[in-house]
Amino acid sequence: MGFNEIDSTQFVETSSPKSVNDRLFRAVNIFLLIFFAIVMILPFVWLVSSSLKTQIDIFQYPPDFLPNPIMPENYVNALTYKPFGTYFTNTLIIAGLNVIAVVFTSSFCAYGFARMRFPGRDLWFGIVMATLFLPYAILLVPSFIIFARLGWVDTFLPLVVPQFFGGGAFNIFLMRQFFRTIPEEIADAARIDGCSEFGVYWRIMMPLAKPALITIAIFTFLFAWNDLIGPLTYLRSPENFTIAVGLASFRSQTDISWDLQLAASAAVTFPVIILFFLAQRYFIQGIVMTGLKG
Amino acid sequence: MSISRRDFLKMAGSSAAAMTMLTNMGLSPTMAQDVVNIAFGGWGGVAEDEGVKEAIAVFMEENSGIAIDWQHTPDAGEYSRITLTNIAAGTAPDTSFIRADDYETLAVNGVLMDLTDLIENDPLLGQEDYFIQPQETNRSAVNGRWYGIGSTWVAHHIYYNADIFEAAGITPPGFQDDEIWAWDEFLEICNELTMDSAGRHPDDSGFDPDDIQQYAIDWPMGWWMPLTAAVFSNDGQIFDEDGLIVLDSDQAMEAMQRVADLIFVQHVAPRSASLQSLGMNNTQMIDTGRLAMGIDGSWALSWMNPTELSVNMGTGALPKMVRPATALQAHFHSVLSSTEHPEEAWEWVRFLATPFYQEHFSKIGLWTPNQTAMLTEEGLKGWITEGIHPDNYSQWATDYLPAHGVAVSLPPGWIEANNDYIQPAIDAIANGERAVDVFSDAVANANEVLIASKG
Amino acid sequence: MALQNKKKIEPEQNWIVQQYNRLSLKQRRTVMGYIFIMPFILGFLFWFLIPALVAGNLTLQKWNLISPPRYIGFDNFEKLLSDPILGQSLKVTLIFSSISVPIGLVFAFFLAMLINTKVPGIAVFRTIYFLPSIVPAVANAILWAWLFNTEFGLINFIIRALGGPKIGWLQDPGWVMVAFVILTIWGVGGSMIIFLAGLQGIPEIYYEAAEIDGAGRWAKLRYVTLPVMSPIIFFNLVIGFINSFQIFVSALLITNGGPQNSTLFLVLYIYRTAFQSQNMGYAAVLSWLLFFILMILSFIVFKYIGSRVYYENPGD
């Protein structure tokens, strides 16, 4: 089928024996790896170290990486000033529903685009791609007015329901790419056995698609987790707020609690870091399998 | 005049005058005994959020028939956007904070309820000297009618590090007329207070402007308000009688140039960008001894006060050019015309205009009163807090502001004109360009926008 | 067999299935096809087409959200042609895009190769590299605004420790663009992961074959890796382009379009026009303009670069 072992190191290590040249190269490789890791993580380390400082200490100059005194209370204060527990739950619900919606509907539509031939298919796929070009923020006001007339303001509905209708061009695109890598013979075999098109989709394609589905699930989850504009526009009551909105609570023109804001920002990032760390194998595997090559 | 809260509220809620007034206006007050929900939208940081909630609790205790639903958004700009969208969709709150930038636009478009008669006929608010005049009318009246009640006054002044002044042997500024520095005096003092790491002052030879350890002054140029204080002080104006911008007048440009020169010519001010949208300010520079004086709004007292800072601090007035001046503004509390419960909405907005509401925020240093009742000896006791307000702060409220505060009202189209032309011009001089080079074009373009907005 | 099937079906379904079975193969395929893509079509209708039509209608109106809209004909389009702020906005967006996309792409590819190594704990490195792209927008803005602070920022501190000058990152119109490019490149984690997946999907055989032909490291890169990766590079290029044109939240939070409108990217300008200047009609025109610009640019990219992409499995 052409799927490869993950974790192979085609570029760096070859099948030929290690020479001095190879070892040198590998050493440089590792050096650069560590160097850039430091560069990339420095801002975040700074964020965390500052989040443990007092307001005054944050602005010491010359800057100092070690907080003195260390204030883990910042985290407690930040997360209790606004009910982050509620925000967490809300965000989880919204993100979870988004993931379910996207996984099923985008694969459903993508199957149609990838495996079926019918007039107008390419036209509609072109439209799918075209929707990638319109920024989220642009349709905000017309959408808001529609949702307001429907009475959906201050509910999760505007943030969830649209995802059930295809789940977004990006996801449809990825799934379509994936489905196209699966040989036609498998589907034909199933059809000969009397399987309907839905059956082929549900019983054959979907199980094969697990890695790709996990990939789009993770992308969708991350987007929903960090989404600010949507919740800020549609959610009114504090009980309904998401984490992103809660994070914005500390920012205002007449007062800023830097210590709390930094702590909240760091705290909000931790769950997604853990999620990515645990899921990265599937994540990468999934993208490989979408066969972006073809 | 002092009045107990009980008496006040008794005069309020069942005031026959208010009822008649509303009936005459054609709005029938609700007679139902069930709880009426009034939505109240606004913004603010942690302190404001808490303060409003407390005020709501107090109000609801006395008015069992009204429930206030507080809709808080942290940032004022975001709040403005959300409110606009809500108005468009028909889901606007009954009452709301209204930014000074939006006030006139909303008023002339009929979004805000006309409160003039209600105020005039109110036993408390309708008194002639209830508010500090003429500033209050200057900012509240749109074509002679009031569409909201100003929440407070806030204006810029100096916050200084008292320890630095003491070490240098210089008398810090104050609020009395003889304590306010003339511009030349101010420049000399700044020179004294600025040192590079070798201890040299800007007028010493060998002074290194790239290695300044201690700055004398920070005069923010991240937005228009602190800069226009300088303009007023130099006898300039922001707008003329027709409502057009006149920041390209000689006096205005000279004033703004002088402020920019503090950075580039005298080298007594740092180049820290006041990133207003993120709330970055000069507090920490003062607190760590890197800045002798910082200019910020009076609201900053809520965090730049003797209790919060680790150094000794004090407050004083801005230096004067031709005369002492500072720019005054604040947000309004208004009733939206779309409300279905105008009577209850008015009750709430009215409450917000009473000392009991203002006191709370004034105590923590966030607000300065716009009501004369709070400026009497008795009234002052109600909000001047030791540990928050420096010793001379009552003078700021009683003497300086009424005499030298200039109220600002912003015409429709100001936001666009400012975003597109005025603020970029300010950015330019904050980056070293000359005011005379940038402001005439900027003002011309900005005025075109204002004229187009009148249509 | 058809008879047997019919006996098991409910009466209502019977009619539908009957109708269905009457169709030709081609017609059946069409029906099925559309059933599958129906969710998208409906979604497109409700959440795209109708709002887009409303936005289209808006282009002919003057509406400030708080009063009823008024028809003003083509005035908004006229303004389009004479708006100096729009010119500025287009300029900075194009500059930003043309600088950040290529640099970002190269950097992402480079990082992907770095983390495509068998090193113990590589998962940690991958997480570190991906991390910046998932920091929430507000946190990101605050972090960078403050890293770039002229007086206090860590970046200026490092520069000055190395003997350099104090740079007004967020006050100087020239430097602020560099600042935004830097912070954008810090967040290339997304494209990097996609590149990584691509690298891992290259069959070992290709490299072995190249070695047999005597290819060294760089030759392998040039003749095997890059060509096989070209569809992915192309994909990331297009996505990168589209995303760079839509930069908005960081510009809003960090500089609000300044200094001197030098970070007034197009989406930010649209947002400001809609919600601060309260000119919905003109904002709608600007949105359509952005849409067409992206379509045209993508068309150009597809036509001239797309043709150079090597496809391993040329599809249908």
Domains of chain A: 20-72 (no CATH), 75-289 (1.10.3720.10)
Higher pLDDT, A97 or A142: A97
Contact with chain A for residue C271, Cβ under 8 A: yes
Q: Which domain holds residue C182?
A: 76-308
Choose among B81, B271, B416: nearest Cβ to C168.
Answer: B271
Mean pLDDT score across all residues of chain C: 83
How crowded is residue A88: how many other Cβ atoms within 10 Å of its Cβ? Answer: 17
Residue B258 confidence class, pLDDT cut points 50, 70, 90: very high
Residue B336 confidence class, pLDDT cut points 50, 70, 90: very high
Residue B235 confidence (pLDDT): 93
Residue A18 confidence (pLDDT): 61
Judged by CB atoms closer than 8 Å, whether chains meet at C291 and A134 is answered as yes
B171-194 average pLDDT score: 93
Most B-contacting residue of A237, A249, A253, A260 (CB-CB within 10 A), to test interface:
A253
Asked if pLDDT for residue C1 goes beyond 80, the answer is: no
Are C121 and A280 contacting, i.e. CB atoms less than 8 angstroms apart?
Answer: no
Higher pLDDT, A132 or C116: C116
Asked if pLDDT for residue B8 goes beyond 80, the answer is: no
Matching residue, tokens 């944050």: A58
Q: Is residue C68 part of a domain?
A: no
Residue A252 confidence (pLDDT): 59
Neighbours of chain A (3+ CB pairs under 8 A): B, C
Of all residues in chain C, what percent carry a pLDDT higher than 70? 92
Kindly identify which residue of chain C lies nearest to residue A58, measuring between CA atoms.
C152
Residue B213 confidence class, pLDDT cut points 50, 70, 90: confident
Q: Which of A290-294, B111-115, C30-34 has the lowest mean pLDDT?
A: A290-294
Judged by CB atoms closer than 8 Å, whether chains meet at B74 and A257 is answered as no
How is residue B325 annotated by DSSP? -
- Write the pLDDT tens digit of every residue in C273-292: 888 888 888 888 888 888 88
Q: Is residue C118 part of a domain?
A: yes
Are B59 and B351 contacting, i.e. CB atoms less than 8 angstroms apart?
Answer: yes
Using alpha carbons only, give the angle B300, B429, B179 rounded to the nearest 5 degrees.
45
Residue B231 confidence (pLDDT): 95
* Omega before B134 within 30 of 0, i.e. cis: yes
Residue B29 confidence (pLDDT): 47
Residue B273 confidence (pLDDT): 57
Residue B23 confidence (pLDDT): 46
Residue B304 confidence (pLDDT): 85
Backbone angles phi, psi at B406, to 5 degrees: -110, 120
- Write the pLDDT tens digit of every residue in B394-409: 999 999 999 999 999 8
Contact with chain B for residue C145, Cβ under 8 A: yes
Residue A11 confidence (pLDDT): 45
Contact with chain A for residue C37, Cβ under 8 A: yes
**Distance of residue C173 Cα from the nearest chain A Cα, in angstroms:** 23
Kindly identify which residue of chain C lies nearest to residue A2, measuring between CA atoms.
C203
Question: What CATH number is given to the structural domain containing C268?
Answer: 1.10.3720.10
Residues in B closer than 8 angstroms to A253, CB to CB, are: 75-76, 276-277, 279
**Distance of residue B306 Cα from the nearest chain C Cα, in angstroms:** 24
Same domain, C230 and C90: yes
Query: Which range, A50-54, B45-49, B164-168, is most confident?
Result: B164-168
Backbone angles phi, psi at C137, to 5 degrees: -55, -45
Residue C99 confidence (pLDDT): 94
Q: Is residue C130 part of a domain?
A: yes
Same domain, C129 and C87: yes
Q: How far apart are the C-alpha atoms of B452 and C279, rounded to whole Å? A: 12
Residue A256 confidence (pLDDT): 59
Residue A96 confidence class, pLDDT cut points 50, 70, 90: very high
A269-278 average pLDDT score: 83
Residue C180 confidence class, pLDDT cut points 50, 70, 90: very high
Q: Is residue C315 part of a domain?
A: no
Residue B335 confidence (pLDDT): 94
Same domain, C175 and C298: yes
The tokens for A84 are 């982050």
Judged by CB atoms closer than 8 Å, whether chains meet at C204 and A4 is answered as yes
The tokens for B87 are 């108005």
Residue B227 confidence (pLDDT): 92
Asked if pLDDT for residue B322 goes beyond 90, the answer is: yes
Neighbours of chain B (3+ CB pairs under 8 A): A, C
Closest CA to B261 of B424, B425, B429: B429
Residues in A closer than 8 angstroms to C119, CB to CB, are: 30, 33
Judged by CB atoms closer than 8 Å, whether chains meet at B210 and C166 is answered as yes
Closest CA to B293 of B301, B282, B307: B282
Are A109 and A174 contacting, i.e. CB atoms less than 8 angstroms apart?
Answer: no
Judged by CB atoms closer than 8 Å, whether chains meet at C134 and A276 is answered as yes
Judged by CB atoms closer than 8 Å, whether chains meet at C278 and B84 is answered as yes
Residues in C closer than 8 angstroms to A157, CB to CB, are: none
Q: How far apart are the C-alpha atoms of C133 and C128, rounded to whole Å? A: 10
Same domain, C10 and C39: yes
Judged by CB atoms closer than 8 Å, whether chains meet at B74 and A255 is answered as no
Same domain, C12 and C99: no
Are B390 and B172 contacting, i.e. CB atoms less than 8 angstroms apart?
Answer: no
Helices (H) and strands (E) in chain C, counts: 17, 2
Residue A61 confidence (pLDDT): 63
The tokens for A245 are 């909105």
- CA torsion sign for C301, C304, C308, C311 is positive
Residues in A closer than 8 angstroms to B281, CB to CB, are: 256
Residue B28 confidence (pLDDT): 44
List all residues of chain A from 81 to 120 with a beta carbon under 8 Å from chain C: 105, 108-109, 111-113, 116-119
Asked if pLDDT for residue A273 goes beyond 90, the answer is: no
Residue C12 confidence (pLDDT): 55
**Distance of residue A167 Cα from the nearest chain B Cα, in angstroms:** 26
A97-102 average pLDDT score: 92
Asked if pLDDT for residue C131 goes beyond 60, the answer is: yes
Asked if pLDDT for residue B18 goes beyond 50, the answer is: no
ipTM surpassing 0.90, yes or no?
no
- Write the pLDDT tens digit of every residue in C135-172: 887 778 878 887 888 777 788 888 988 888 888 888 88
Same domain, C31 and C154: no
Are B178 and B207 contacting, i.e. CB atoms less than 8 angstroms apart?
Answer: no
Choose among A58, A148, A232: nearest Cβ to B90.
Answer: A148
Q: How far apart are the C-alpha atoms of B40 and B97, rounded to whole Å? A: 8
Are A247 and A176 contacting, i.e. CB atoms less than 8 angstroms apart?
Answer: no
Rg (alpha carbons) of chain C, rounded to whole number: 26
**Distance of residue B45 Cα from the nearest chain A Cα, in angstroms:** 5
Most C-contacting residue of A33, A87, A136, A138 (CB-CB within 10 A), to test interface:
A138
Asked if pLDDT for residue B25 goes beyond 50, the answer is: no
Residue B30 confidence class, pLDDT cut points 50, 70, 90: very low
- Write the pLDDT tens digit of every residue in A193-241: 877 878 888 888 888 788 788 888 888 888 888 888 888 778 877 788 8
Query: Which range, A281-290, B279-288, C268-277, is most confident?
Result: C268-277
Most C-contacting residue of B79, B103, B420 (CB-CB within 10 A), to test interface:
B420
Q: Is residue C313 part of a domain?
A: no
Contact with chain B for residue C165, Cβ under 8 A: yes
Asked if pLDDT for residue B26 goes beyond 50, the answer is: no
Residue A69 confidence (pLDDT): 75
Choose among C66, C168, C258: nearest Cβ to B84.
Answer: C66
Residues in A closer than 8 angstroms to C298, CB to CB, are: 133
Residue B260 confidence (pLDDT): 93
Mean pLDDT score across all residues of chain A: 78
Q: What is the dihedral of CA A73, A74, A76, A82, to 10 degrees?
A: 150
Asked if pLDDT for residue B1 goes beyond 50, the answer is: no
Residue B162 confidence (pLDDT): 93
φ/ψ bin of A135: left (φ > 0), alpha (ψ from -120 to 50), beta (otherwise): beta
Same domain, C95 and C198: yes
Judged by CB atoms closer than 8 Å, whether chains meet at A58 and B91 is answered as no
Asked if pLDDT for residue C3 goes beyond 60, the answer is: no
Residue A291 confidence (pLDDT): 56
Asked if pLDDT for residue B277 goes beyond 80, the answer is: no
Contact with chain C for residue A265, Cβ under 8 A: yes
Residues in B closer than 8 angstroms to C64, CB to CB, are: 105, 109
**In a 10 Å sphere around its CB, with 0-12 CB exposed, 13-18 middle and 19+ buried, how is residue B114 labelled?**
middle
Choose among C64, C151, C277: nearest Cβ to B419.
Answer: C277
Asked if pLDDT for residue A14 goes beyond 80, the answer is: no
Same domain, C108 and C193: yes
* DSSP reduced 3-state for A266: helix
Are C277 and C257 contacting, i.e. CB atoms less than 8 angstroms apart?
Answer: no
Residue C128 confidence (pLDDT): 87
- Write the pLDDT tens digit of every residue in C75-91: 888 888 888 899 999 99
Residue B31 confidence class, pLDDT cut points 50, 70, 90: very low
* DSSP reduced 3-state for A151: coil
Kindly identify which residue of chain B lies nearest to residue C164, measuring between CA atoms.
B210
Kindly identify which residue of chain A lies nearest to residue B90, measuring between CA atoms.
A148
Kindly identify which residue of chain C lies nearest to residue A142, measuring between CA atoms.
C51
Same domain, C270 and C145: yes
Contact with chain C for residue A261, Cβ under 8 A: yes
Higher pLDDT, A70 or B176: B176
Asked if pLDDT for residue C179 goes beyond 50, the answer is: yes
Same domain, C42 and C183: no
DSSP string, C216-277: -HHHHIIIIIHHHHHHHHHHHHHHHHHHHHT--HHIIIIITT-STTTT--HHHHHHHHHHTS
Question: What are the residue ranges of helices labelled H in B237-277?
Answer: 250-264
Judged by CB atoms closer than 8 Å, whether chains meet at B71 and A232 is answered as no
Asked if pLDDT for residue C314 goes beyond 50, the answer is: no
Same domain, C41 and C87: no
The tokens for B181 are 């520095």
Q: Is residue C316 part of a domain?
A: no
Same domain, C33 and C85: no
Q: Is residue C63 part of a domain?
A: no
**Distance of residue B363 Cα from the nearest chain C Cα, in angstroms:** 30
Interface of A with B (CB under 8 A): 55-56, 58-61, 81, 141, 144-145, 148-149, 153, 232-233, 236-238, 248-257, 260
Please state the domain count of chain C: 2
The tokens for C253 are 């939070």
- CA torsion sign for B81, B85, B87, B91 is negative
Asked if pLDDT for residue B261 goes beyond 70, the answer is: yes
Residue A15 confidence (pLDDT): 45
Residue A272 confidence class, pLDDT cut points 50, 70, 90: confident
Residues in A closer than 8 angstroms to C29, CB to CB, are: 116-118
Judged by CB atoms closer than 8 Å, whether chains meet at C198 and A266 is answered as no
Higher pLDDT, B201 or A144: B201
**Antiparallel, parallel or unpaired: β B154-161 and B313-316:** antiparallel
Asked if pLDDT for residue A60 goes beyond 70, the answer is: no
Q: Is residue C71 part of a domain?
A: no
**In a 10 Å sphere around its CB, with 0-12 CB exposed, 13-18 middle and 19+ buried, how is residue C315 labelled?**
exposed
